[in-house]
Amino acid sequence: MEKRVLLIEDEPNIIEAIRFILARDGWAVATHSDGETALSAIRASLPDVLVLDVMLPGRSGFDILADLRADPGLHALPVLMLTAKGQGRARDAAEQAGADRFLSKPFANAEVLATVRALAGL
């Protein structure tokens, strides 16, 4: 069965890069770029793994993640957080918010693929 990933990211170059990396590995990749409607998109697609940017229009990835972790139906969804910020405070905030993994931009393509596969138990 095909694994599904939802990428919530607002930078077109990042979207296309991650979509290409994961689709080439056999993933069904859905994308969404608005923080305000992100939870609805997550509920609608029910992905196997969520890749979530920290800085989004409307709401931050941290706010979205906090809502996910408080939702009994979505709290166990594996989440990889992405950020362009430095590693220190953003990484701590991602871990406190309940992110399973964290990558800083720019990232290596192989690192994204390996992390998503690990989160899916592959």
Q: Where are the domains of the chain?
A: 25-85+98-122
pLDDT for position 93: 81
Backbone angles phi, psi at 26, to 5 degrees: 95, 10
25-85+98-122 homologous superfamily = Response regulator (3.40.50.2300)
Amino acid identity at 70 = A
Q: What is the CA radius of gyration of the chain?
A: 13
Residue 88: the pLDDT is 66
Phi-psi region of 26 (alpha: psi -120 to 50; beta: other; left: phi over 0): left
Task: Please report the pLDDT score of residue 87 as a whole number.
Answer: 58
* Predicted pLDDT at 5: 98
CB atoms within 10 A of CB 2: 7
**Alpha-carbon gap, residue 95 to 34, rounded angstroms:** 22
The pLDDT profile of the chain, 122 residues, written as one tens digit per residue, is: 789 999 999 999 999 999 999 999 999 999 999 999 999 999 999 999 999 999 999 999 999 999 999 999 999 999 999 987 665 677 788 888 899 999 988 899 999 999 999 999 99
- Overall pTM > 0.75: yes
